[in-house]
Amino acid sequence: MSDETKPAPEAGSSGVDAERAAKVAAAKAKAAREAAGESPATAEPAPADADKSVDAEKEAKIAAAKAKAAAAKAAREAADEGGETPKPAPAKAPAKAAAKAPAKKEAAPAYAEITGDAFIAALRAVFRDDIKEAVTSNGQQIVRVVPERARDLLWYLRYDAAIRFDLLTDVTAAHYPDRKAFEVVYQLYSIADNRRLRVKAELPEDQSIYTVCDIWTTANWLEREVYDMFGITFEGHPDLRRILLPEGWVGFPLRKEYPVEYRHNEWVTENLNILEIPEGADLTGKFD
């Protein structure tokens, strides 16, 4: 009976099958426990219990909400009589407004130097002049590093630093043609400390940067995409080829000089079997 449900077990894999059967049994037991309402492994509240308490709580909450709404309405009416525009009184709003007020001012600089952060100070002590600056923008910390040491810094942040940034959230880049450079951007996150850090390396257009594939596996595809879109070469990458665009595509679309509306006629005729392109068709127009 059990064999019928299994996808063609190979000869000599009976050990694997036995293991599988044991796992199935364990999972079934788990599922049964859950169904019975005993503390399930993956969820804190058993659904049945949660419902009862929710129902009981709901009544109270609805009553509270109604009272709140009535109070708000009364307040609004009073305000209307006074000739003022109604304004809801959210619990969080005043604090939020106060916190965000400085950001709105014109004078606030886009990037502010980080001072008094022990972790950043420790990083500076280790990497000295290789860290060009450590700044914040919109309250988020950014460390600029020379591209030659970017990999060392990232290795250090993953394995040796006081706060271990174990999750590489993203790798991307931005193109700055006026500086003839790219900025390669690494977004890091530390699960244990719930902290984010952005590492940026300014890379001259004709230089390459070393891969971080062996530090985080996720960098494999992310660096391929950066290569695909910007043409940045990652030295030591095991499989650096285009990922979103087809092989043989000419140019790197996210470079600023690449036009937004553009068709590579040769490629199209060759690969899409469109044999005729109207004479004088202008395919390099701009939107604005």
Show contacts with other proteins in window 110-169 (CB under 8 A). 110-111, 137-138, 140, 142, 166-169
CB of 224 to other proteins, least distance (A): 9
Could you give the string, one character per residue 212-251, with x where binding to other proteins holds by CB under 8 A and - elsewhere?
----xxx-xxx--x---x--------xx-xxxxxxx----
Asked if residue 193 lies in contact with residue 163, where contact means CB atoms within 8 angstroms, the answer is yes
Residue 57 or 117 having the CB closest to other proteins:
57
> Residue 107, interface with other proteins (CB under 8 A)?
no
Asked if residue 168 lies in contact with residue 219, where contact means CB atoms within 8 angstroms, the answer is yes
**Going edge to edge, which strands form the sheet with 112-113?**
112-113, 131-137, 140-145, 195-204, 181-190, 167-176
Torsion of CA 136, 140, 146, 149, to 10 degrees: 140
CB of 142 to other proteins, least distance (A): 8
**163, 187, 233, 267: residue in contact with other proteins (rule CB under 8 A):** 187
Considering only the stretches 57-65, 121-129, 203-211, 268-276, report the one whose residues sit in contact with other proteins under the rule CB under 8 A. 57-65
Enumerate residues 6+ apart whose C-beta is below 8 A from 140: 196, 198
**27, 36, 74, 121: residue in contact with other proteins (rule CB under 8 A):** 27
**14, 36, 37, 54: residue in contact with other proteins (rule CB under 8 A):** 54
Helices (H) and strands (E) in the chain, counts: 8, 8
Considering only the stretches 17-25, 121-129, 263-271, 272-280, report the one whose residues sit in contact with other proteins under the rule CB under 8 A. 17-25
Q: What is the largest CA-CA distance in the chain?
A: 86
CB of 128 to other proteins, least distance (A): 25
- Give the bridge partners for 203, in sequence order: 182
CB of 196 to other proteins, least distance (A): 7
CB of 256 to other proteins, least distance (A): 8
Q: How far apart are CA 23 and CA 184, in angstroms?
A: 45
Q: How far apart are CA 163 and CA 213, in angstroms?
A: 21
Considering only the stretches 123-131, 148-156, 210-218, 276-284, report the one whose residues sit in contact with other proteins under the rule CB under 8 A. 210-218
Site size toward other proteins (CB under 8 A) is: 94
Considering only the stretches 32-40, 113-121, 122-130, 267-275, report the one whose residues sit in contact with other proteins under the rule CB under 8 A. 32-40
How crowded is residue 11: how many other Cβ atoms within 10 Å of its Cβ? 5
- Give the bridge partners for 190, in sequence order: 195
Enumerate residues 6+ apart whose C-beta is below 8 A from 146: 130, 132, 201
Enumerate residues 6+ apart whose C-beta is below 8 A from 120: 114, 134, 141, 143
> Residue 194, interface with other proteins (CB under 8 A)?
yes
> Residue 31, interface with other proteins (CB under 8 A)?
yes
Residues 67-106 contacting other proteins, CB under 8 A: 68-69, 72-73, 76, 86-88, 90-93, 96-97, 100-101, 103-104
**79, 191, 274, 283: residue in contact with other proteins (rule CB under 8 A):** 191
